Structure 1
């Protein structure tokens, strides 16, 4: 459970080595994954070999990077050379040879990180909980009767339980932040293009790849690894000129913070609202200048549905005319209702809503450095369900109103724990910045994390 920032200090001093860290991660998987079902596969032999190679490099003082040897798992949406990428779907043929790494995987290998397994995802990462016909239900590390959220739910559960120090998730509408909030960890959806994506996502420029960790600093260190250009992604941004860990401890004194509890259209569980308001008070007491703002935004869910399910329809089209009959029934219904009927004019109208929202947020950030919201309006509900009991819609954007708008605007958005409900479930705080202000978002998260102890809490499954 050591953060990467401390783990590598032990590698450097010789107190322990990457083989010890890998062995501890695999031991946690063997002890705990039966409770949460977060791993699609573990390649113990490959991980052990990588850990031994890293240990040899540290022994002679020549690590490949400052994070050489850190154990990491990868969401099973992201290509990994030599391992199947099944995407949570029975439509995908497991047969090889699987010759390619996605950019995120390639950068991790180049850093010397020890990649040893892949995490569960709902079918094609389409929804905000993690269950699939192929791999079953992934459960919450704080209460296995609850969902861990999704679609990077397996990544969140492994990270929360020490089944690897880091994980890499994808986020097309909240898929890093939803499970981050439900599972009590830190997750960042970076500015679009900061982490290259290849192959290109059918969900287009809604789709991001982001780091998931137990601390803000670890999130920054993993982003350093991932945020390197790749020629296969023509839309990726230039490499950062400094580490995201630089300036992380700069604090929030004098920063202008806008707080919106609901973006104008959401509704929060009272425990969530209380925890987030307390978190805002912590930032104010740390020197931030905080204003509660009435944004009065219109909910962009209809536009998001058009963009999202048109992408999902594109995914399924590649698997034949009967694909709808062989996938998650709720996915099939949503694609039939929104994706297959969408016209080019509908798509352009949805894009216009997206552009107007981006303009509105750009105007907000002329006055405020960051925006604070709840990550989720609720805590984790029952596992195996698409929505909470009695919810008016089975579609996940209906119960995650604060995440998908920032995929539409491509802004960096961070979730980190800010409290727990009476029944012991994590509550998430979301920090949103203007595009390209990833370092600032991390800095605000670090200031809050350092002023509180929520990130030190451990799930009951750990004893």
Structure 2
């Protein structure tokens, strides 16, 4: 069940938080040895929290729709009582671990059941999920393939039923890429809407956001975690209303700009075919859809400058003698970052400002921009990219996600179907800054009327495979 469905079932006494938590733990027991999505599972703590939630539901004192929902957290988020190891041998702090990050604190207060922490590449540095410390995380749709990254453990857990939803981080696509590869929903909100603490190593590129089974669930989860926190100097102020309110209003009359490639990408044919079909669905729902001309040149050089500088800053906290334990390519990124001058970094920031202005002007004419989330589908696990040429610079194979970290706009990946080989494809919806509700509304309209659901398709795929095996 989705989180929204679980909350309804709790209210109707059709199931309980304890039953839902046991089901999630059973799925972890069954599937995680193969998928490797977790670095920590706290079954006893989860069942205690579920029992407390169940008592609240039985007393009519539940804390909202997140109360009792089995939840996972990416292992870049501080979580009280659990280590935050960041996928690296360099992190050797024995604890205690006394502090929750803002998102985890909000989830705990809302009564969510915390199951455990999910995998990330070292310090979340790349677009797939593997590390020397924790090994390779695999895709539930096909364990030979990657779930993407860097929130690949979170997306794999949600896709496999090992928890209902998760919190991921996104510095260049790290929520949306794994959502696209695993048939889940991933949302990067407007920068500052979800507080960042500790601050992301990549400065204003860094965001936190939901990975869920539905757009409605993403809105419910965003209502929980989108609140200011004094530990984040760039957090936005308290906002009125709910992201769920108005999400069912439909999209008739909205203006959508569609770009299959932003003018510089190159898509797998089936990705473009499925995204084009999804755009037709949006038009059929009453939106005014226009294919648009390129908006900007590929900003990958500026992004790489900022990304590598962020990695260098992260690694300077660790003894130089320990850095030999790191992924060699990560060390190359750090070396490039150390060579970056302040002037070069400010030049990259100027590119961000120009992109932001271009997109602000675009949104004077269009409510949202629609693109593929990623030009390709999941590729073999253990690789840094779909081809050797794209493996050294991970951003080269995800050209449609990182520009919107640079502009700090809300961007959603929603599943839009399966290729003929049975792999998910994502549709990206991008909105003007502070128009998160509109982005969610477009995604919700699509998922309700497209006739495609990641939950039902996953069940159908599993049933087909069981039949083939028998």
| Superposition TM-score, scaled by structure 1 size | 0.98
The alignment partner of 1:291 has SS state of strand
What corresponds to 2:400 in structure 1?
A: 402
Q: What root-mean-square deviation, in Å, do the aligned CA atoms of Structure 1 and Structure 2 show? A: 1.1
Match of 2:384 in 1: 386
Aligned to 2:49: 50
Q: Any idea what the Cα deviations from partners look like across 1:383-410, whole Å, max 9, x if unmatched?
A: 0001113434521100000000000000
Give the match's secondary structure for 1:351. helix
Equivalent residue number for residue 458 of structure 1:
458
Are the structure 2 counterparts of residues 392 and 221 from structure 1 closer, same or farther at C-alpha, using a change threshold of 3 Å?
closer
* Larger mean Cα displacement after TM superposition, 198-207 or 119-128: 198-207
What is the Cα deviation at residue 94 of structure 1? Answer: 4.4
CA distance in 1, matches of 2:101, 2:245: 27
Contact 1:72 1:115 in 2 (8 A): yes
Cα deviation, residue 164, structure 1: 0.6
Question: 1: distance between equivalents of 2:421 and 2:34?
Answer: 19
Distance across 2 between alignment mates of 1:318 and 1:335: 12
Which aligned pairs between 1:119-158 and structure 2 lie closer than 5 A? 119-158=118-157
**Equivalent position of 1:284 in the other structure:** 283
> In structure 1, what is the Cα distance between the partners aligned to 2:334 and 2:368?
35
Q: CA deviation at 1:81?
A: 0.4
> Counterpart of 1:11 in 2: which secondary structure?
helix
Deviation at 1:296, TM superposition (A): 4.8
Alignment CA distance shift 1:310-1:168 (3 Å):
same
Q: Please state whether the residue corresponding to 2:85 is helix, strand or coil.
A: coil
Deviates more, 1:372-381 or 1:448-457: 448-457
For the residue of structure 1 that corresponds to 2:280, the secondary structure is helix
**Superposed, which structure 2 residues align to 1:154-173 within 5 Å?**
154-173=153-172
Deviation at 1:63, TM superposition (A): 0.8
Note the alpha carbon deviations across 1:106-133, whole angstroms, 9 max, x for none.
0000000001100000000010000001
1:205-239: CA deviations, max 9, x gaps? 10000001011101110001110111111211123
Is the CA contact (8 Å cut-off) linking 1:313 and 1:339 kept in structure 2?
yes
> What is the CA–CA distance in structure 2 between the aligned matches of 1:222 and 1:249, rounded to whole Å?
16
Aligned length: 461
Q: Distance in 2 between matches of 1:7 and 1:60?
A: 17
**SS across alignment from 2:144:** strand
Question: Could you report, residue by residue, the CA deviation over 1:311-361 in whole angstroms, capped at 9, with x for unpaired residues?
Answer: 10011111111343221111112222x211100000001111111111111
For the 8 Å contact 2:311–2:333, the answer to whether it is kept is no
Match of 1:301 in 2: 300
Which residue of structure 2 aligns with residue 315 of structure 1?
A: 314
SS of the aligned residue for 1:257 comes to strand
Q: How far has the Cα of 1:461 moved from its partner?
A: 5.7
Matching of residues 348-359 of structure 1 within 5 Å? 348-359=346-357
Instruction: State whether residues 141 and 461 of structure 1, in contact with CA within 8 Å, keep that contact through their aligned partners in structure 2.
Output: no
Q: In structure 2, how many angstroms separate the alpha carbons of the residues matched to 1:94 and 1:17?
A: 37
Corresponding residue for 1:101? 100
Paired residues of 1:316 and 1:323 also in contact (CA < 8 A): no
Q: Distance in 1 between matches of 2:68 and 2:276?
A: 39
For the pair 1:441 / 2:400, whether they are aligned, the reply is: no
Give the secondary structure class of the aligned counterpart of 2:109.
helix
Structure 1 moving runs of 4+ over 3 Å: 459-463
Distance 2:126 2:391 in 1: 13
Deviates more, 1:289-298 or 1:250-259: 289-298
Q: In the alignment, what sits opposite 1:416?
A: 414
Q: Is the 8 A contact 1:40 1:120 kept in 2?
A: yes
2:186 is the alignment partner of 1:187: yes
The within-5 A match list for 1:242-261 is 242-261=241-260
| Comparing 448-457 and 425-434, the one that deviates more | 448-457
1:266-303 alpha-carbon deviations (Å, 9 max, x no partner)? 11111011111111010001100000001252110110
Q: Provide the rounded CA distance (Å) in 2 between the counterparts of 1:242 and 1:391.
A: 47
**Partner Cα separation in structure 1 for residue 150 and residue 462 of structure 2:** 22
Q: Does the CA contact (< 8 Å) of 1:317 and 1:323 recur in 2?
A: no
Report whether the alignment pairs 1:73 with 2:72.
yes
1:240 Cα deviation from its structure 2 partner: 2.9
Gaps of 5+ in 1: none
What CA distance in whole angstroms lies between the structure 1 residues aligned with 2:172 and 2:397?
12
Q: Measure the CA separation in 1 of the matches of 2:39 and 2:320.
A: 27
